[in-house]
Structure 1
Amino acid sequence: MTSTTSPGRSFEHELVLHAGPEALVDLMVPFVRDGAAAGDEILVVGEPAFVDAMLAAVPDVAGVRAVPQAGRERFPGRDLHRFQQVLTTLDATRSRVRVVNQMPAMSELQWQEWRRYEAAANYVLAPYRVLGTCAYDTERLDHTMLEDLSASHEHVLDGAGRRPSGRFADLDEHIGGYLDLPPHPIEATPPQLALHDPSAHAARRAVHELGTAAGLPPAAIQAAVLAVSETVTNGFRHGRVPVSVKVWTAGGRLTVTVSDSGQGPHPLVGLCAPPLDSPSGRGMWILHQLIADLHHRTDRHGYTVRFSVGLDSPLHS
């Protein structure tokens, strides 16, 4: 993984802070028009109502690629890979791409993964000729979120204008604490099932049986089975025994933790695809495109992966 500040970067990453969709449209109209005048490709991503408003505000700009997406359907691993796929297609034109990206509303728990997304974008999208904006409503941000965003974006744009982010140079160091997180509250409750040093086969069978008993959709069960197989295998291969699996079923959801006593992976695990010839790492990357509710944490006891699927899971199809 290369430094975010390497001279070979083509990707420019800009944080946009706004006070609601109307203010965001006002901020982005000059951005879109300047890009069109320069011959850039324009990509607008966000809630359907925002995308419609953005297009209506620039009727004189032709060829804008609109990607309306409800926030509840978006999650970091899928978003990052889809951006990469779109940019690979547009990159063939050799034009620069300008991206207006209205970020979805997110809970504090979801933020743990979205901040990793923002950091990982600097590595994954570095080769592409892109000026990408990530737009956040300031009413939904706290001080810690703003610190994370300032570290992962080169520039900041708001009503006062555009300015460099002085914290961007420290991103490689800043992400070091991204996995230092507390356990999820469910982990303080007795699990329905606990397995110690199980084989991947035993873990798959147990999760399949519990998911079926809970009445989960086949796609959700299949995702959970794949995830527990991959994480248990990783625990033995890359971590340190003992490896433990715990499972909870409540409220129409199946939640699984897989823990080992190792030091854990890189803080951006699962979001940066390994090279095609790499012998490992691709399984976790696939899981991050498949499962929305997937988290990593480390503490003095070791490393834990937690994932959850349910009736409402926005699983990749």
Structure 2
Amino acid sequence: MPDVSGLPEPPGAHHVVLYDSDAQFLAAALPFARAGLAAREPVFIATGPGNASLLRRHLGQDAGQVDFADARTWYHSPAKTLLAYHDKACAAPGGSRVVGEAVWSGRNEDQAREWTRYEALLNLALLATGAKHLCPYDTRVLPEMVLRAARLTHPGLAAGADYWSNPAYVDPEQFSAACDTAPLPARPRRAQARAFHGNEDLAGLRDFTNRRARAAGLPPTRIDNLLICVDEAAANTVRHGAGHGTCWIWTTRTEVLCEISDPKGTLNAAIVGYLPPSVSQLNGRGMWIIRQLCDSVDIRTDHRGSRVRLHLDRDPDVTPPGTAPPA
């Protein structure tokens, strides 16, 4: 292994490298990974096949000491990927290294926004863990919206083996709150609705949800997930909101969507439910469960109350983070 003792260490936990060539990618990712191996830290790399192949080739025999995952399966759900990285960091208290290149191709604007939020909240997930993340962004192919968000969500910048603080960095909670100012796409007219009033109506709401999910062709495990999430969101409305609300369900070619509205409720959605609640924490468990069981969740609060919109993919064969096939 080459001597990396003289390489500068990243001053913080989360750095972005903007690259426009294979050489620039390697100039940052290779010494970062080698420094981790030299320090006997776990090194995890989740990137596309092309960049993974580059790193394997240049790491040589040392590539066998690195855990590789295909970014196309690792970066499936923002909340699940956030948890996976949080758990990896906590499992290596002596420090760990990640080269993580999120997938942006094929994301619509709403999905891309949630992944930029993930990058912001990753800073909170890594606090006091000793983990270091290097996030490559390919400026040749990524849209300006994604590149602009990258400059706001990473406290550190990197180029080659050089690291410095990012003056454009925005506080994660502030950035996440700004994500919730974007309007949600309107519910389609075909969406089917059911009102609920108090706890006595929740059984009927579950039956309504179950029938619609079955009609949409969701597999049984996905239906169970949706029922749990609808129950949690509606029960929160009953206990802490207006005591009543409405549930809408509709489908697209790829998703089943379910929205629970509370005409009086308010939710601080900036960070709630994204990070694992502590054992002593009483609140936030419902939203934590919802975010882990759904593929994505949108929350909006305004003068009309709050809305929790649940997204479940109709494809049952998507591989979740942590179970990506060997590269």
For residues 77-88 of structure 1, the aligned pairs below 5 Å read 77-88=79-90
Residue number in structure 1 paired with 2:98 = 99
Question: How far did residue 207 of structure 1 move?
Answer: 0.8
Question: How far did residue 11 of structure 1 move?
Answer: 5.9
Gaps of 5+ in 1: 1-9
Contact 2:247 2:261 in 1 (8 A): yes
Aligned length: 304
Contact 1:13 1:122 in 2 (8 A): yes
Contact 2:14 2:133 in 1 (8 A): yes
More divergent stretch after superposition (54-63 vs 123-132): 54-63
Question: How far did residue 296 of structure 1 move?
Answer: 2.0
Could you say what the CA RMSD is over the residues aligned between the two structures, in angstroms? 2.8
One-letter amino acid of the counterpart of residue 67, structure 1: F
Contact 2:71 2:101 in 1 (8 A): no
Gaps of 5+ in 2: 1-10
* CA–CA distance in structure 1, aligned partners of residues 44 and 254 of structure 2: 37
Superposed CA offset, 1:247-292 (max 9, x none) = 1134364211011132322412221122112223123213322221
* CA–CA distance in structure 2, aligned partners of residues 138 and 263 of structure 1: 39
TM-score normalised over the length of structure 1? 0.83
* CA–CA distance in structure 1, aligned partners of residues 226 and 283 of structure 2: 20
* CA–CA distance in structure 2, aligned partners of residues 315 and 304 of structure 1: 28
Specify whether residues 98 and 90 from structure 1 end up closer, same or farther in structure 2 by C-alpha distance, changes over 3 A only. Answer: same
Question: How far did residue 147 of structure 1 move?
Answer: 4.0
Contact 2:46 2:71 in 1 (8 A): no
Matched position secondary structure for 2:249: strand
Question: How far did residue 312 of structure 1 move?
Answer: 1.2
Residue number in structure 1 paired with 2:259 = 257
Residue number in structure 1 paired with 2:292 = 289
One-letter amino acid of the counterpart of residue 81, structure 2: D
Residue number in structure 1 paired with 2:191 = 191
Residue number in structure 1 paired with 2:220 = 218
* CA–CA distance in structure 2, aligned partners of residues 308 and 109 of structure 1: 12
More divergent stretch after superposition (146-155 vs 118-127): 146-155
* CA–CA distance in structure 2, aligned partners of residues 152 and 136 of structure 1: 13
Residue number in structure 2 paired with 1:119 = 120
For residues 1-317 of structure 1, the aligned pairs below 5 Å read 12-19=13-20, 23-61=24-62, 64-72=65-73, 74-91=76-93, 94=94, 96-105=95-104, 106-139=107-140, 141-158=142-159, 162-168=163-169, 170-185=171-186, 187-197=187-197, 199-251=201-253, 253-260=255-262, 261-313=264-316, 314=318
Matched position secondary structure for 1:243: strand
* CA–CA distance in structure 2, aligned partners of residues 204 and 101 of structure 1: 39
- Between the aligned residues of both structures, percent identity stands at 25
Residue number in structure 2 paired with 1:4 = none
Question: How far did residue 88 of structure 1 move?
Answer: 2.5
Contact 1:44 1:65 in 2 (8 A): yes
* CA–CA distance in structure 1, aligned partners of residues 123 and 109 of structure 2: 22
* CA–CA distance in structure 2, aligned partners of residues 140 and 294 of structure 1: 27
Question: How far did residue 162 of structure 1 move?
Answer: 3.8
More divergent stretch after superposition (272-281 vs 146-155): 146-155
Contact 1:116 1:268 in 2 (8 A): no
Matched position secondary structure for 2:273: coil
* CA–CA distance in structure 2, aligned partners of residues 19 and 217 of structure 1: 42
* CA–CA distance in structure 2, aligned partners of residues 147 and 302 of structure 1: 31
Question: How far did residue 200 of structure 1 move?
Answer: 2.7
Residue number in structure 1 paired with 2:4 = none
* CA–CA distance in structure 2, aligned partners of residues 214 and 174 of structure 1: 35
Matched position secondary structure for 1:17: strand
